[in-house]
Amino acid sequence: MREKSTPPPPHSSFLENLRALSSATLLTKVLGYARDAGLVAVFGGGALTDAYYAAFRILNVFRRTVGEGAVNAGFIPALEKEKAVSSAHGAVFFSAAWTLVFFVSLALASLGAIFRHDLVRLTSYGFTARPEQFLLTAAVTAILMPHLIFVNVSALFQSALNAAGKFFLPALAPAAFSLSIIAYLLFMAGSGGAGLADNVKIMGLAGAASLSGLIQVLILLPMLKKAGYGLALSNPFKNAAVSRSLLLAAPAAAAMAQDQIALFVNTMFASFLEPGSITAIYNAARVIQFPVSLFAAAAASVTLPELSRHSADNEPERFGAVLGGAFKTTALIIIPAALGLMALSLPICRTLFEHGRFTREQSGLTAGVLFYLSLGLAGFGVNKLAASACYGAGDVKTPVKIVLFQTALNAALCFPLMRAMGAEGLALATALSSLAAAALFIRAAKIRGAFYRVEPGFYLKTLAASALMCAFCLGATRLLSDVHPAYTVALAVPGGIAIYFGALKILRLEERKLLTGGRF
């Protein structure tokens, strides 16, 4: 009898692509934080920015479901199958898919602009008690809607380039959004905003955001053509492959936007709270998205094409090996990030946001929300990878069921926790529901094998090293409580990282080399 072969290690291209995508994501996130800090410095953290962020949250849900969610759920696995037949089949499939995404996005954007008041009433009902804020949110929503068309098309372009093995430059394209906003804010802070009312400035900000989407599309077009894809329009309903991918994407799109849906529910409840609550939730979520986007979401994007290929080729061992490696790489960052953000929530928020019109009290509110969201950071990471793995394996039902449960649990927890804790309670509801969803994902048959392939000792050592890092960060926070918070962050973050990796080395956790490239 032949001995059962051991699972092969993850392909080296996975780590190379992950580093490329993470590097590009890091650059875009740094620009994103500069953008958000500039925005609250110019406009403050009260009712004005609440209106902008409430409108932007509506856009984000459409973007993450119809755009990025649908593309990740159905487009990449289907494209890989078509490319396996021939490159011509892949090009024809892309043409039909891009036509569909463009016209669906155009229709949604038009409907969103027409029914802007109904959307705001549905998603931020608390604003109806403040008519001026309600009308401003509706106007900003309408101005933002063209952005939906551009970012959805860009998501399709980026996924096609990812499937072609191109990760770094496509991931840099979204930086156009931050650069456009920063340029607008600098203009407003100078002589450009003289004499303009704040409401007009906020609507101009939405216009700059919409324009940035077009810039992003134009950046990706040359790379797309070089990869062999054109922009010819074709009837998507005459393409059997597109029809099949539609059946896959339609129910699964919302599952890929699980974090945005949870924060969307939070925004609905936060509209009844004190002004500034929605801004605090948005800014705290932006900080949380840093490790999630940098590693969990990046790992999910990199692994999806590879998992789809291994599933199509009926290679369960390689499927499990790739996914297990992704779990390890993500855990090495997500676990210490969660503890570190909890320990440094206040100095981080003060350093990032407490400038201009953003006050100390608003920093405290944001820090409280960040602390409780950090409790669910491990859940956010697991859910991103697990959902991607399910789609790569052709399993649509599991993610949909779990995310429906997560959304219902989040909504059920929001009301009592909001009454008891305010905006912080909403963050806690999101964290608890995310962790519950992660537990269900780990139990899923398609995920369980890869997750438990990672030995328990790996998680224990990672947690021990993270606890040492957390203790150092807490000590630094108390020791430097009387100095500017930027100094605390400047000492605690690099010091904590050094302690974390030093502890991993002492504990002989060889997987640390996944992050260091084998140099430490």
Cα dihedral: 102, 107, 113, 119 (round 10): -110
Q: Which of 454, 475, 493 is the last residue of a domain?
A: 454
Q: What is the per-residue pLDDT across 36-64, written as a single tens digit (0 to 9) for each?
A: 889 988 898 888 899 999 999 888 877 76
Q: Is residue 30 part of a domain?
A: yes
Task: Kindly write down the DSSP assignment for every residue of 408-422, as one continuous string.
Answer: HHHHHHHHHHHHHHT
Q: Is residue 7 part of a domain?
A: no
Question: What's the mean pLDDT when you consider all of the chain?
Answer: 82
- The single residue listed with the structure tokens 């996914």 is 323
Phi, psi of 21 (to 5 degrees): -65, -40
Residues 241 and 157 in one domain: yes
Q: Is residue 98 part of a domain?
A: yes
Pairwise CA distance, residues 428 & 367, whole Å? 13
Q: Is residue 388 part of a domain?
A: yes
Pairwise CA distance, residues 490 & 350, whole Å? 13
Residues 477 and 352 in one domain: no
pLDDT of residue 97: 82
Residues 105 and 166 in one domain: yes
- 405 token code pair: 């449960």
Q: Does the reported pTM lie above 0.95? A: no
Residues 27 and 147 in one domain: yes
Residues 462 and 337 in one domain: no
Q: Is residue 1 part of a domain?
A: no
Q: Enumerate residues 6+ apart whose C-beta is below 8 A from 349.
A: 283, 284, 287, 363, 364, 366, 367, 370
Q: What is the per-residue pLDDT across 183-208, written as a single tens digit (0 to 9) for each?
A: 999 998 877 777 788 899 999 999 99
pLDDT of residue 1: 38
- 344 token code pair: 């440094």
Residues 319 and 367 in one domain: yes
Q: Is residue 2 part of a domain?
A: no
Residue in 363, 372, 381 with CA at minimum distance from that of residue 341: 372
Pairwise CA distance, residues 78 & 73, whole Å? 9
Q: Is residue 114 part of a domain?
A: yes
Residue 512: C-alpha distances to residues 153, 461, 508 (Å):
37, 11, 9
- The whole domain housing 503 covers 456-520
pLDDT of residue 345: 95
Residues 486 and 349 in one domain: no
For the CA atoms of the chain, what is the radius of gyration? Answer: 22
pLDDT of residue 7: 42
Residues 449 and 471 in one domain: no
pLDDT mean values, one per 10 residues, the chain (520 residues):
41 62 78 89 88 88 63 65 75 84 90 94 90 94 93 86 80 89 90 82 94 92 87 77 61 61 84 90 88 64 62 67 76 90 94 88 94 91 79 74 89 94 95 92 66 72 94 92 88 92 89 65
Residues 291 and 416 in one domain: yes
pLDDT of residue 362: 92
Q: Which of 410, 439, 454 is the last residue of a domain?
A: 454
Residues 206 and 233 in one domain: yes
Q: Which of 433, 454, 475 is the last residue of a domain?
A: 454
Q: How many domains does the chain have?
A: 2
Measured CA angle at 507 (ends 467, 331), to 5 deg: 55
Residues 382 and 516 in one domain: no
Buried b (16+ CB within 10 A) or exposed e, 148-175: bbbbbbbbbbbbbbbbbebbbebbbbbb
Residues 461 and 434 in one domain: no
Q: Is residue 5 part of a domain?
A: no
Helix, strand, or coil here: 10? Answer: coil
